[in-house]
Amino acid sequence: MRKILFILSLFVLSAQSAVAASRIEIEALFDLLSMDAMFEVMREEGLVYSDDLADDMLPGGTGPGWQNIARRIHDPAKMRTIVQAEFEASFGDADAAPLLDFFASETGQKIVALEVQTRRAFLDEAVSDKALELFHERQEPYDPHLQAIADYVEANELIEYNVTGALNSNFMFYRGLVEGGAFAMSEQDILREVWTGEDDTRVETRDWLFSFLMVAYEPLNVEAIASYVDLSKTTEGQALNRALFAGFDEMYKAISLSLGMALARQMQGETL
């Protein structure tokens, strides 16, 4: 009996060690991906969006009170906690080694830095508008650099993942408004409302993705982008992509629900 207990205890300890090692690898991967810097940029994006929501939906528009609420909702530490938990669950027992090797390389670090830098630059609407204009101009004639970007988008199913994420976030925002008492809608009503915007969301997503990646990857040669595409097509690359979208999807759903509920309370407060 003691021998059985000893063996069981060894199994538990080894299992815990495996989980700990996996978490260490994920922490290292998050560091290489500059996730904390990306969360800060996403927070700034969220605060701008929150101001726009208030200006559209509150008679008094945005203000210090609403901005404080928005800052609490867009807490980078909470955002990371949600994303990392979902990432770990989705990534499972996938091999992180090839990913760590790639993103620790000069090419990998350059890609990450360019993505964060461009995402931050896109906080300026004039920059993102100009990028979209340039993207539309470059679609014809054939552009090998843009084709490499298209290969990357296709390999990672970026349009589908982002459209799904946007629709999920919109659904949770409406649910927040309903749960907060702003108005009454059934779940079917919400779904119908969200899906009416699917076509527009798809077009906007495609335009944003290509204009963003076109600017971000401009300093990269076609070979560097192709190496990223090759990684994306591997089992490990697909696991990374699924895990990242699982994490960000959960994060944006939580934020959208909180924004909807908070906005509903503000709407009711101003009505009274």
pLDDT, tens only, 52-70: 999 999 988 999 999 999 9
At residue 17, the pLDDT reads 46
Q: Identify the segments of the chain with pLDDT beneath 50.
A: 1-21, 271-272
Looking from the CA of 64 toward its CB, the CA atoms found within 13 Å total 0
At residue 22, the pLDDT reads 80
How far CA 117 is from CA of 34, 113, 250, in Å, comes to 11, 6, 24
* Sequence spans of domains, the chain: 2-271
At residue 141, the pLDDT reads 67
Return the SS3 of 159. Answer: helix
